[in-house]
Amino acid sequence: MALLLLGCGTSPSPCPAETCLAVELVISPAYTLSTVLVMVRDGEQLTRREFVGSELAAGAVAVPLAPSSSPSERRAVYVRADADEAGGRHELVGFVEGERSQLDRAVVMLSEACAVSLCSGPSPRRGAAMTYVPALRQILLHGGAGLSGQPLDDLWAWNGLWWQKRTADSTPPARSQHGLAFDEASGQVLLFGGQGKSGVLGDTWLLDPKTMVWQRLSTTSPTGRKQAALGSAPIGSSSGLLLFGGQDAAGEVLGDSWLWDGNGWRAGASSLCDSRPLLPSLLPRCRIGAALVPLATSRESLLIGGWLGPQPAGSLEPDEVIWRFDGQQWSVAPLYRPPFVLSRYQHGAATLQSSTGQSAVWVGLGDSSVGLRQDSYLLDESTGQFQPLLGGAPSPRSESAIAFDREREELVIFGGRSDAGLLDETYTFAVETGYQRHP
């Protein structure tokens, strides 16, 4: 093995632990590093630095740290590196964690993910569901429809560096186009509905991340549906989950709201599904394939995009507005709404929030009346403007599983449907580094 030191200052000696972190990367001499991304999580603070070319050769690169008054604070170091080898380019990964006082100098063994975990990941699929689970510090992915079109029931975890298959007791039936969201009120993962092997489902399940046991709930719940929007939302004075719309077993598009408060469902406002309403509605019209995301700077959630009902429709009819839910009622959000941002369904949206207090809403990919989409945007909550993201984006696709990884402060995109078929690619996005594809 070869030892490469990434330290602070101009010498390979450890730097002051109060100001920066010395990271020693242990790699095989067969590899030559071209870029290295180091992510250091100190409690609630994340530091992200990318090193390129001559910075690595000099062996004198600083990873600055935020001040901390707690030496017992958890520290985790995640490393991704692009490396050249005789067989081509590879991604090397490594991880180490411990108390901050014990990890004032990190030694990270770098290897391909296959050498760390089984050389496998989720199979190609569309319509899978994904959510971040704080107790695990990982993203969980469930189900989807595979290459044969049959729904899947497997469960996978993304730790920021590689995928690992997880097992859980009392697994829900296989499904795709369902809802999956972490419920802060109960500390569990809620799963609802979707397309099953024999039809549209309307069951509600909770996964305890501590025991990895699923439990089916026998309680009043929304009617069976697929392609509904599900996400975090204010429920009165507390937090919960909001479900809106979807398509039922008869093919009808729905426009009802359902609220989950950690203990059960209760019905909210329900809108009509007129194709040409005579008056502006005070509620969102019925739709499928929309996205629902909470805002970081206010107690509101946004409903973005979707294919409006009723069905069947001859062509895609997008909504011309973005709707917001404040815990009690719906209203039109006062945001600038370019048509090219909204004219999509089966797309993705997520709230990106950094430990420095910065936040934005990511919207992108999906299907539309002109075909699959590749474009993506960031909504600046302070200005209400959407800014396009340029370069390095995933190829056009829809029905991808999308979630924000709060531990690494990255958007994660997996799989989906392209014009060529189903995908099994994993992408991450961070404002500092842009899009990155991972083997």
How does residue 11 score in pLDDT terms, banded at 50, 70 and 90?
Answer: very low
- What mean pLDDT is reported for the chain? 89
Mean local confidence (pLDDT), 283-296: 94
151-158 and 163-166: which strand pairing? antiparallel
Please check the confidence at residue 319 and state whether its pLDDT lies above 70.
Answer: yes
Task: Report the SS3 class of residue 238.
Answer: strand
Q: What is the pTM of this model?
A: 0.94
The 10s digit of each residue's pLDDT in 131-148 is: 999 999 999 999 999 999
In this structure, are residues 327 and 234 in contact, taking their beta carbons and an 8 Å threshold? yes
The 10s digit of each residue's pLDDT in 141-169 is 999 999 999 999 999 999 999 999 999 99
Q: Give me 396's structure tokens.
A: 């056009």
Distance, in Å, from the CA atom of 71 to the CA atom of 32, rounded to the nearest integer, reads: 35
CA-to-CA distance for 262 and 77, rounded, in angstroms? 33
Using alpha carbons, list the distances in angstroms from residue 436 to 48, 427, 431.
14, 6, 11
Strands (E) located in 295-420: 301-304, 307-308, 323-325, 330-332, 348-353, 359-364, 376-380, 385-388, 401-405, 410-418
Is residue 318 within 8 A of residue 343, CB to CB? The reply is yes
Alpha carbon 298 to its chain centroid, in Å, reads 20
| 84-98, 268-282, 424-438: least confidently modelled range | 268-282
In sequence order, the 6+-apart residues with CB closer than 8 A to the CB of 286 are 245, 253, 254, 255, 271, 272, 273, 308, 309, 310
Average pLDDT over residues 224-238: 92
Higher pLDDT, 65 or 199: 199
